[in-house]
Structure 1
Amino acid sequence: MRPFPWLMATALGVPVVLLQVQPASAYVALMAGQQARPLNGSFNKVPVLHSNQPEEVEGAGILINTAPGYAYASETGQPLRNAEYTFNGEFGVHMHHKYFPPNRGQISASARRPKLTLGLILINPGARPVHIRFENGAVRNSFEAPYLQQYKMGVRPLGPRPWNTGPGDATAIQVLRGRLDSKLSQEITIPARSRIVLFQTQLPALGIANALLKGRSDGPFQMAVVAAKNPQSDWDVLAVLDRGRLAPGRVYLNRIADINRRRVFSRVGGVAIGDGYGASLDHDLTQQGPLHVPLTSTHRHNFGTREVQVNPLVSRMVDSSLDNVGTYGVRFDVDLNLKGSGPYELVLSHPSSTGSSKPFTAFRGSFQVRSEDGLQEMHAGLRSGQSVALTTLNLRPGVPNPVRVSLVYPADATPGHLLSVVPASQLTMVQNQERQLEIARSTAATTAPALIPIPPAVPDPTGVDADPAERMPPLVLQTPLPGLPPLRSNPPPPPPPAILSPRSAAGASSSPLNPSLVDRYQQALEAQQQMMRSLMDR
């Protein structure tokens, strides 16, 4: 590691200590004084239906429909054009929704909770049957894959049935392993001018349902996702689609201008191009030093590489994000051809929270690491600002050491991660700082602040809420459906009136600062980092 500049901290009553000033591009403590390399990878061309807007559904209705036509917003009554797209050949599906009914504050997590039913509908508008074969996929909800506290954070090996880390990770693991759930049919046929409900799954109040699916068709078809209230048959699910009303919960309809100006990121409701990202990179650790590369990078978090690993949308709802920033359900395969000698740590990191924002769960998902030592599978959970070692790589001197890192990016994550290969001593130094700060935080919370030196701030890795484990009935697959009359789409209405203008942002009010030692230290550190950034920009 290169030497760092040092600065004396005396502001805001902080005792005189030596503070390590990181470069402006070093979002992660592990990378301080070092640079990241771009992966220069690419997405494939497979279209994927993403049903994640609204993420928090408040009732029954259409969530997304790729058939031509319109549906009407529950909030405004306005007609909104469908995310029109016809699939033909390879395709993917990603669904991720929560059920937050209007009376959510009165619902007890320990009591029997109300439920919605999510259904995926396949539509054949053509004059001949369409045959579809599924390669891999899974559907999970909070009953089947609850968040168990002991599995949330840290790194641990995966077992054969690791369904205790939430629905998003549970479906991603099945796709990562290339498996298709036994509850899903391997092949189906959509009769001409007909529709079938491929699957249904229950969405519990205050809970989550997630689905990932990859398949191939021999003809054109469209898809729709709906939420139904207590359907007794697949016909009840289809009736939701025919009513032509969108499910309530579309909270971004009054922020369309902010979405278009990229001031806010809503959620993805549309069709993205790419269900896989591949990259290959050669690196000599002896000559070039530690390796840092962006993984799921964004405009905001690309670690100084200017590489943005975001795949585009070719069709979307008007209140969807402009592109697939989350890359949920996308498989990443990164081939690292490493030269070096002895043990190195393969590390996953997330940028630190900025300003007054609190640390949050930044990743909860699973990896495969293939090397000449074999295949390893592990689950990793980390909070913003944290670095965790996925595994140790034992590199043979004088020869290339191929390592493939694979993951299917789970919905329980916030994009913008850093993948590193570093000496164990470099990781140990950062983790020691984390432990010391945690001790300082605990001391400040229970006793009067003591004037002791405190290391650079790294967020506190603690757990978050959990859903109770319950059972759900098996998924329903309706195969023999009679042919339906020719499909009708809502006639194009007159040009819809302008969507409500975005609310004017209220002036942010500042609250009194907590006079704890840790907060005063954080303020001093942020002030000095701002000063250093201004000096570096001159």
Structure 2
Amino acid sequence: MSVKSIPKLFIPLSLTVFGLSFSSHSKASLLTQNTPKPRPQEIVQSGEVRPLPGKLDNIPVFNSNSPEWIKNEGILLSTFPGKGKKTPTAHLNFPFQGRFDLFAHHYTHTPKDLQTLYIGVMLHNPNKQAVTVNIPQAASYLMTEAPFVTLAPYIDNNDGKTFSGPGARAVADVLRGVRQKDFPSKLVIPPGQSRMLLNHPIPVRNLEKPVNGRSSFMRMKSSGKVYIASMAMFAKKTPTSGNKLPVSPKGDRAPTLKEWQTLLDTGSFAGPRDKIPTPPDATGGQLIYGRVAGVSEGSQWISNITDNAAAKNLTIPNPGKAISYPLVTLRGGRLGTEQKQTAKMLVRYGDTAYEAHGNYCVEYNLVMPLINSTKQTQTVSVTLETPLKEDKLSQGGIKFRKPSLDFPFFRGTVRVRYTNDAGKEVTRYVHLWHRTGQVLEPLIKLTMPGNSRRNVQLNVIYPPDSTPPQVVTVRTME
């Protein structure tokens, strides 16, 4: 996983601009230079950290995220059989059938002659009868369509118009049940033939900085076995007979199905390759998670959060206390729970991630049947927040910091459903933009009379370009 921060603009001020001489202010300058910055305040949250109930389902996910930055065209991820292919090791021989998801997330940076890079996703039907692939939700965005921007911690996003990155925008669309008009509701593939699901550009020409990327996320269901490949190819400049694909004013055009097929049959890995990940059995050295290229297992984590497996409710904590449930825990970041939620890889390339560490595009469906078992009215809050990353809790609780570290570790839209204090059922979509260790206001607050119950449901499709772990915290106010 990478951490992308929003750089600050730093403009040094010259004393001469203000007509000041160094000698007349040297003492003040030295005092300023020698005054230490105040140490950040570390805050340990009082309360419990519990493992998240539930588990990942077994839905396979076509997970194409390596190499993240593409310079050389080639195969990004192929689940085709390797037989008859020039580079057999580039093909993982994994057919999909029934429900599956597809995630592809790649960038291009200063390509030669500012060529447009295309991302292609091909589906192949190896059967003797036609296969229908239904596509209920699908979205694909360029970084230029959803730039990385600094936003407020909370913005109501019921209209879907707030976003802070292409991956965050794509998963927010799917969370809302959207299928972009670029994608059909179903794709019928004749026996033994292939069809392009995605043949989309990543243009850099005419940009201030020639950097762009594309994030795509889809949920699908196939009536029969299909093989899938994602590939990268630069735009073609030569016309083709009867070509109906769009041609830019520069003469660039999208690759044809035949050209994609040739790349699949005769091509090798796209490059450059990402950093080699740290093996799971390593006991020392730097921990490198690596980028994912393979099929991961798990599309959704359904969690009914109660006091224990036999209970029907989640008892709110004592006043001033909190209960936190981590999301997307991983090696080196389990927050004291000893729970690793990372999706395992069913098949993968040998130089890519051993697990789907970020659980990108995995949906967390969390139901919290809250109960106030006291006789007094209590104010209860629910917050999705990003504590400082730890594997074991060094001070007995999760830690935050004032000021927070200047990295956006979570940026994306969540859905929350609950009964408000007026007894009305509410559904809200809220865009979150949170820094590491940031102390936040609650996502929602509820006033619960004594011996009352209140249901809260939180849905989070984990957004690409976020960095785990996060926690869902239930807190009772003092």
TM-score bracket relative to the smaller structure: 0.7 to 0.9
Task: Give the 3-state SS of the residue equivalent to 2:303 in structure 1.
Answer: strand
Alpha-carbon distance in structure 1 between the residues aligned to 2:153 and 2:149: 13
What amino acid sits opposite 1:137 in the alignment? A
Q: Displacement of 1:143 after TM fit? A: 2.9
Alpha-carbon distance in structure 2 between the residues aligned to 1:225 and 1:378: 32
Q: Displacement of 1:33 after TM fit? A: 3.8
| Greater CA drift, 200-209 or 124-133 | 200-209
Q: Displacement of 1:79 after TM fit? A: 6.3
Give yes or no for the alignment of 1:265 onto 2:289.
yes
Structure 1 residues 361 and 47 mapped into 2: Cα distance closer, same or farther (>3 Å)? same
Gaps of 5+ in 1: 1-12, 23-28, 108-112, 426-538
Equivalent residue, structure 1, for 2:315: 284
Task: Give the 3-state SS of the residue equivalent to 2:383 in structure 1.
Answer: strand
Alpha-carbon distance in structure 2 between the residues aligned to 1:232 and 1:299: 40
Give yes or no for the alignment of 1:247 onto 2:270.
yes
What amino acid sits opposite 1:270 in the alignment? G
Alpha-carbon distance in structure 2 between the residues aligned to 1:251 and 1:14: 42
Q: How many equivalent residue pairs?
A: 386
Equivalent residue, structure 2, for 1:133: 134
1:343/1:392 contact within 8 Å kept:
no
Q: Displacement of 1:117 after TM fit? A: 0.7
Find 2:106's aligned residue among 86, 94, 97: 97
Structure 1 residues 238 and 272 mapped into 2: Cα distance closer, same or farther (>3 Å)? same
Structure 1 segments, 4+ long, off by >4 Å, are: 17-20, 70-73, 256-260
Q: Displacement of 1:123 after TM fit? A: 1.0
Equivalent residue, structure 1, for 2:257: 234
Find 2:298's aligned residue among 252, 261, 274: 274
2:82/2:88 contact within 8 Å kept:
no
Give yes or no for the alignment of 1:352 onto 2:388.
yes
What amino acid sits opposite 1:224 in the alignment? A
What whole-Å deviation, never above 9, does each CA across 1:322-361 have from its counterpart, x for those lacking one?
111111011111111212344333222223379xx96422
Structure 1 residues 207 and 343 mapped into 2: Cα distance closer, same or farther (>3 Å)? farther
Alpha-carbon distance in structure 2 between the residues aligned to 1:323 and 1:194: 32
Alpha-carbon distance in structure 2 between the residues aligned to 1:124 and 1:390: 49
Equivalent residue, structure 1, for 2:148: 147
Task: Give the 3-state SS of the residue equivalent to 1:175 in structure 2.
Answer: helix
What amino acid sits opposite 2:465 in the alignment? D
Structure 1 residues 162 and 168 mapped into 2: Cα distance closer, same or farther (>3 Å)? same
Give yes or no for the alignment of 1:160 onto 2:159.
yes
Give yes or no for the alignment of 1:64 onto 2:81.
no
Alpha-carbon distance in structure 2 between the residues aligned to 1:393 and 1:57: 45
Higher strand share: 2
What amino acid sits opposite 2:411 in the alignment? R
1:129-528 to 2 correspondences below 5 Å: 129-149=130-150, 152-162=151-161, 164-204=163-203, 205-230=210-235, 231-252=254-275, 255=276, 258=279, 261=282, 263-282=287-306, 283-287=314-318, 289-340=321-372, 341-352=377-388, 359-373=406-420, 374-397=426-449, 398-423=451-476
What amino acid sits opposite 2:382 in the alignment? L
Structure 1 residues 320 and 44 mapped into 2: Cα distance closer, same or farther (>3 Å)? same
Q: Displacement of 1:226 after TM fit? A: 0.7
What whole-Å deviation, never above 9, does each CA across 1:348-391 have from its counterpart, x for those lacking one?
2223379xx96422111111111013111100011111133352
What amino acid sits opposite 2:304 in the alignment? S
RMSD: 3.0
1:37/1:292 contact within 8 Å kept:
yes
What amino acid sits opposite 2:61 in the alignment? V
Alpha-carbon distance in structure 2 between the residues aligned to 1:182 and 1:91: 20
Alpha-carbon distance in structure 2 between the residues aligned to 1:309 and 1:259: 15
What whole-Å deviation, never above 9, does each CA across 1:207-243 have from its counterpart, x for those lacking one?
2211111111111011000111113433333332232
Alpha-carbon distance in structure 2 between the residues aligned to 1:302 and 1:269: 23
1:26-45 to 2 correspondences below 5 Å: 29=43, 31-45=44-58
Task: Give the 3-state SS of the residue equivalent to 2:49 in structure 1.
Answer: coil
Alpha-carbon distance in structure 2 between the residues aligned to 1:390 and 1:120: 41
| Greater CA drift, 306-315 or 138-147 | 138-147
Task: Give the 3-state SS of the residue equivalent to 1:218 in structure 2.
Answer: strand
Task: Give the 3-state SS of the residue equivalent to 2:262 in structure 1.
Answer: helix
Alpha-carbon distance in structure 2 between the residues aligned to 1:161 and 1:358: 28
What whole-Å deviation, never above 9, does each CA across 1:272-299 have from its counterpart, x for those lacking one?
1111011111232254842211011123
Alpha-carbon distance in structure 1 between the residues aligned to 2:389 and 2:317: 32
1:44-55 to 2 correspondences below 5 Å: 44-55=57-68
Structure 1 residues 349 and 70 mapped into 2: Cα distance closer, same or farther (>3 Å)? farther
Alpha-carbon distance in structure 2 between the residues aligned to 1:372 and 1:71: 59
So what's the TM-score if we normalise by structure 1?
A: 0.66
What whole-Å deviation, never above 9, does each CA across 1:495-530 have from its counterpart, x for those lacking one?
xxxxxxxxxxxxxxxxxxxxxxxxxxxxxxxxxxxx
Find 1:82's aligned residue among 87, 91, 102: 91
Structure 1 residues 390 and 56 mapped into 2: Cα distance closer, same or farther (>3 Å)? farther
What whole-Å deviation, never above 9, does each CA across 1:139-175 have from its counterpart, x for those lacking one?
11123222344xx341110042325422111111111
Structure 1 residues 297 and 257 mapped into 2: Cα distance closer, same or farther (>3 Å)? closer
Alpha-carbon distance in structure 1 between the residues aligned to 2:201 and 2:279: 33
Alpha-carbon distance in structure 2 between the residues aligned to 1:286 and 1:327: 29
Alpha-carbon distance in structure 1 between the residues aligned to 2:160 and 2:469: 28
1:259/1:321 contact within 8 Å kept:
no
What amino acid sits opposite 1:402 in the alignment? N
2:316/2:380 contact within 8 Å kept:
no
2:156/2:429 contact within 8 Å kept:
yes
Q: Displacement of 1:259 after TM fit? A: 7.0
Higher helix share: 1
2:100/2:221 contact within 8 Å kept:
yes
Equivalent residue, structure 2, for 1:471: none
2:84/2:265 contact within 8 Å kept:
no
Equivalent residue, structure 1, for 2:19: none
2:160/2:172 contact within 8 Å kept:
no
Identity of aligned residues (%): 24
Alpha-carbon distance in structure 2 between the residues aligned to 1:257 and 1:331: 26
What whole-Å deviation, never above 9, does each CA across 1:235-257 have from its counterpart, x for those lacking one?
333332232221111133xx367
2:46/2:322 contact within 8 Å kept:
no
Structure 1 residues 286 and 165 mapped into 2: Cα distance closer, same or farther (>3 Å)? closer
Task: Give the 3-state SS of the residue equivalent to 1:173 in structure 2.
Answer: helix
What amino acid sits opposite 1:349 in the alignment? E
